[in-house]
A and B are shown apart, each in its own frame.
Chain A
Amino acid sequence: MKPPPFTYHRPHTVEEAVQILAGLGEDGKVLAGGQSLVPLMSMRLSAPANLVDVNHLPDLDTVEVTSTQVRVGALARHSRVEKDAAAYAAIPLLRQGLSNVAHPTIRNRGTTVGSIVHADPAAEMPAVLVLLDGAVELRSVEGTREVPAGEFFVGAMESAVRPGELAVAATFRRPPDGSGSAFVELARRRGDYAMCGVGAVVTTEVGGALTSARVALIGVGDQPVLVDVTEALTGSGGGFQRDGLRELVDERIDPEGDIHATAEYRRHLAHVLTARALDEAHGRAVRGRREGRVA
């Protein structure tokens, strides 16, 4: 259970980091919080030849809230983002998702951007990014490019990050007024990766009737699965047609069975948790409208 040897790089500026990454190409791997990478290395499932430690880069431990988005820097630990009051007021789904990420102790070290780049199909924050039409900022010696969430996840543990690139931030778009959100999941043990999880964002009109709804599911595909479930709204906007919801979800998910849950059980969870997340999000939207805030 000891990690294999590697060559260690400790840059002190982003420019220096991308220079090193450019030189290393395919052989370079970024180390941020390391809460996924280090255990993978200890179990010898990963053996990068070079680690570029970004923990000493300045100006990346940031959470910035603007009128349109929340921008999370690459060194903002999960716990920092989770506790940030302004980020919570702007996008409650950030905290709702983050409180499900492993244990508080892991969240103290793990970074939100790192979790997104790691692209585990059972991880919460990739789903939150997709659900909020977010994007990831990638820096290299050639400059900065921004990849929208819809194009960022390309497969299980595979993202659009190219060799030589450093993810410097993730941006999450603020949902419109009258929105509500929720994140629910079921895991075998507290803090484990979920067998299935669902994030939901709904919008309501004055009076509280639903006008649109989307969910992102984890653990039931090789990447977060975004489903627009607006079609399954009942005529009055007071809720959802359960059969309609089930069909929309079934069309998109492709769960696999493993030691923790059969494919059938994951499908069942997807149905139940989708309904639960949407109800919770709707309830919050209605309360939020009353109190004049996004919930």
Chain B
Amino acid sequence: MTTEPGTTSTDTPVHVGFTVNGVPYELEVPARRLLSDALRHDLRLTGTHVGCEHGVCGACTVLVDGDPVRSCLVFAVSLEGAEITTVEGCQNAEGGMGPVQQAFQDCHALQCGFCTPGFITTITAYLEENPDPTAEEAREAISGNLCRCTGYQNIVAAVQRAAEIRSGLLAPTGSTSSTGSTSEGETP
């Protein structure tokens, strides 16, 4: 630790307000609190997993204003006004599994499951941008996420399976991109 004599209370709480999965939160956290820790420790949303804590593994990926971001590489206090989506927000409107989660089950795309939340968030956002990826594109899309179990083949298959599920869901009803209620029932 580098607390110099004379420096006072650098861990003074700082106020920040943002939404997570549609629920507004107002937090008082030390400025050095990583978003990953704020989600897990302060908000008790433990779906977001912390692997390497320096931006390499991708397990902690969440969506900030719709775009995948490493939550271990952002200070929570930097996200004033942001809309954050975690894996808990990737479920379907009825509170069951969302299309990417369903595809992971269908394709056996997880074993230990540690890396899975990062894959789910990354792929959820990717399919918004590219709803019908080739296997090659799917591979590129997940290139920033590490998995030590599966060997990736089934995850690539799951990206394409999720695309199929989504297109089936989107075609008749128009939209499934709902955020909103959290399964944890956590409130600020």
> Which residues of chain A have C-beta atoms less than 8 A from B11's C-beta?
5
Q: Is the CB of B78 within 8 A of A55?
A: yes
Q: Which of B54-62, B98-106, B168-176 contacts A (4 or more CB under 8 A)?
A: B54-62
Whether A38 pairs with B75 at a CB distance below 8 angstroms is: yes
Taking a contact as CB atoms closer than 8 A, the residue among A39, A53, A109 that contacts B77 in the complex is A53
Q: Are B32 and A109 in contact (CB under 8 A)?
A: no
Asked, given contacts A7-B10, A8-B14, A105-B58, whether A34 binds B32 with beta carbons under 8 Å apart, the answer is no
Q: Please state if B10 and A35 are interface contacts (CB–CB under 8 Å).
A: no
| B68 close to A (CB within 8 Å) | yes
What's the Cα separation between A2 and B74 when bound, in Å?
Answer: 12
Interface size on B, residues (CB 8 A): 34
Among the 9-residue stretches B1-9, B17-25, B88-96, B153-161, the one with 4 or more Cβ atoms under 8 Å from chain A is B1-9
| A-binding residues in B (CB < 8 A) | 1-4, 7, 10-11, 14, 30-32, 34, 37, 53-55, 58, 61, 64, 67-70, 72-75, 77-78, 80, 122, 141, 143-144
Q: Tell me if A's interface is mostly helix, strand, loop or mixed.
A: loop
Q: A257 an interface residue at 8 Å Cβ cutoff? A: no
- In contact, B68 and A104 (Cβ under 8 angstroms): yes
Q: Is the CB of A109 within 8 A of B70?
A: yes
How far does the alpha carbon of A261 sit from the alpha carbon of B3 in the complex, in Å? 38
Contact B78 A39 (CB under 8 A): no
User: When the two chains form their complex, are residues A49 and B55 in contact, meaning their CB atoms are under 8 A apart?
Assistant: no
Q: Which of B7, B72, B77 contacts A42 (CB 8 A)?
A: B72
Any B CB within 8 A of the CB of A191: yes
Which of B1, B30, B80, B141 lies in contact with A10, CB distance below 8 A? B80
**CB-based nearest B residue for A7:** B10
Once bound together, how far apart are the Cα atoms of A109 and B84, in whole Å?
13
Q: How far, in whole Å, are A102 and B80 apart by their CA atoms in the complex?
A: 25
Contact assessment for B78 and A43 in the assembled complex, using a CB-CB cutoff below 8 Å = no
Please give, as numbers and ranges, the residues of chain A lying within 8 Å of B14 by CB-CB distance.
8, 10
- What would be 24 A-B contacts, judged by CB atoms less than 8 Å apart? A1-B54, A2-B34, A3-B32, A3-B75, A4-B32, A6-B32, A7-B10, A8-B77, A34-B74, A35-B70, A39-B54, A41-B32, A42-B54, A42-B72, A49-B4, A56-B80, A102-B144, A103-B58, A105-B144, A106-B70, A108-B68, A108-B69, A109-B74, A190-B143
Alpha-carbon distance between A31 and B141 when the two chains are bound, in angstroms: 27
Which residues on B sit within 8 Å (CB–CB) of A3? 32, 34, 75
In the bound complex, how far is the Cα of B11 from the Cα of A52, in angstroms? 15
Q: Are B31 and A51 in contact (CB under 8 A)?
A: yes
Contact of B31 among A6, A34, A108 (CB under 8 A): A6
Enumerate chain A interface residues (CB-CB to B < 8 A).
1-8, 10, 31, 34-35, 38-39, 41-43, 47, 49, 51, 53, 55-56, 79, 102-106, 108-109, 190-191
Please give me the residue from chain A that is nearest to B68 by CB atom.
A105
- List the A side residues contacting B2 at CB < 8 Å: 4-5, 47
Q: How far is the CB of A235 from chain B (nearest CB, A)?
A: 41
Query: Could you tell me the distance between the alpha carbons of A1 and B50 in the complex, rounded to whole angstroms?
Result: 11
Contact of A5 among B10, B58, B69, B73 (CB under 8 A): B10
Inter-chain contact A105/B69, CB cutoff 8 Å: yes
Central interface residue in A3, A42, A105, A191, by most chain B CB within 10 Å:
A105
Residues of B within 8 A of A105 (CB): 58, 61, 68-70, 122, 144
Known pairs A47-B2, A109-B70. 10 more at Cβ < 8 A?
A8-B77, A10-B77, A38-B73, A42-B34, A42-B54, A53-B75, A53-B77, A103-B144, A105-B58, A105-B61
